[in-house]
Chain A
Amino acid sequence: MGLFSFFKKEKKKNTASLAKERLQILIAHEHSDTSSKAPEYLPKLQEELMVVIRKYVKVNDDAVNVKVEKGDNFDTLELNITLPESK
Chain B
Amino acid sequence: MSKVIVVTSGKGGVGKTTSSAAFAAGLAAKGFKTAVIDFDVGLRNLDLIMGVERRVVYDFVNVINGEATLKQALIKDKRVDNLYILPASQTRDKDALNTEGVESVINELKEDGFDYIVCDSPAGIEKGAFMALYFADEAIVVTNPEVSSVRDSDRILGILQSRSKVAEEGGTVKEHLLITRYSPERVEGGDMLSMEDIQDILSIPLIGVIPESGSVLQASNSGNPVIMDKESQAGQAYTDVVARFLGEDVPLRFVNPEEKKGFFKKLFG
Contact partner, B150, options A14, A15, A23, A34, Cβ 8 Å: A23
Instruction: Pick the interface stretch among B77-85, B115-123, B184-192, B213-221.
Output: B184-192
Q: A23-B201, A34-B158 are in contact. Are A14 and B193 (CB under 8 A)?
A: no
- Interface 0/1 of A9-23, CB less than 8 Å to B: 000001111011011
Residue A26 interfacial (CB < 8 Å): yes
By the criterion CB–CB under 8 Å, are A27 and B201 in contact? yes
Specify which chain B residues have a CB less than 8 angstroms from the CB of A30 in the assembled complex. Answer: 154-155
By the criterion CB–CB under 8 Å, are B191 and A24 in contact? no
By the criterion CB–CB under 8 Å, are A22 and B147 in contact? yes
Main secondary structure of the interface of A (DSSP, over half): helix
By the criterion CB–CB under 8 Å, are A14 and B190 in contact? yes
By the criterion CB–CB under 8 Å, are A20 and B200 in contact? yes
- Interface size for chain B: under 10, 10 to 19, 20 to 34, or 35 or more residues? 10 to 19
By the criterion CB–CB under 8 Å, are B147 and A16 in contact? no
By the criterion CB–CB under 8 Å, are B190 and A23 in contact? no
Main secondary structure of the interface of B (DSSP, over half): helix
Chain B contacts with A in 25-75, Cβ cutoff 8 A: none
Closest to A27 in B: B154
Closest to A74 in B: B170
Residue B110 interfacial (CB < 8 Å): no
By the criterion CB–CB under 8 Å, are B154 and A16 in contact? no
By the criterion CB–CB under 8 Å, are A16 and B151 in contact? no
- Output the least CB separation between A31 and chain B (Å): 8
Specify which chain B residues have a CB less than 8 angstroms from the CB of A24 in the assembled complex. Answer: 200-201
- Interface 0/1 of A31-66, CB less than 8 Å to B: 000100000000000000000000000000000000
Q: How far is the CA of A17 from the CA of B192 in the complex (A)?
A: 9
Specify which chain A residues have a CB less than 8 angstroms from the CB of B158 in the assembled complex. Answer: 34
- Interface 0/1 of B142-177, CB less than 8 Å to A: 000011001100110010000000000000000000
Contact partner, B151, options A14, A15, A23, A34, Cβ 8 Å: A23
By the criterion CB–CB under 8 Å, are A16 and B193 in contact? yes
Q: How far is the CA of A14 from the CA of B187 in the complex (A)?
A: 10
Closest to A13 in B: B190
Specify which chain B residues have a CB less than 8 angstroms from the CB of A16 in the assembled complex. Answer: 187, 190-194, 197
Closest to A17 in B: B190
Specify which chain B residues have a CB less than 8 angstroms from the CB of A22 in the assembled complex. Answer: 147
Q: How far is the CA of A20 from the CA of B187 in the complex (A)?
A: 12
By the criterion CB–CB under 8 Å, are B151 and A26 in contact? yes
Specify which chain B residues have a CB less than 8 angstroms from the CB of A15 in the assembled complex. Answer: 190-191
Specify which chain B residues have a CB less than 8 angstroms from the CB of A14 in the assembled complex. Answer: 190-191
Specify which chain B residues have a CB less than 8 angstroms from the CB of A20 in the assembled complex. Answer: 193, 197, 200-201
By the criterion CB–CB under 8 Å, are B147 and A23 in contact? yes
Which of A's residues lie within 8 Å of B, judged by CB?
A: 14-17, 19-20, 22-24, 26-27, 30, 34
* Inter-chain pairs besides A14-B191, A19-B193, A24-B200, 15 sampled, C-beta below 8 Å: A15-B191, A16-B191, A16-B193, A16-B194, A19-B197, A23-B151, A23-B193, A23-B201, A24-B201, A26-B151, A27-B154, A27-B201, A30-B154, A30-B155, A34-B158
List, sorted by A's number, 16 A–B pairs whose CB atoms are closer than 8 Å.
A14-B191, A16-B187, A16-B190, A16-B191, A16-B192, A19-B147, A19-B193, A19-B197, A20-B193, A20-B200, A22-B147, A23-B151, A23-B201, A27-B151, A30-B154, A30-B155
What are the nearest 5 A-B pairs in CB distance?
A14-B190, A20-B197, A19-B147, A16-B190, A23-B201
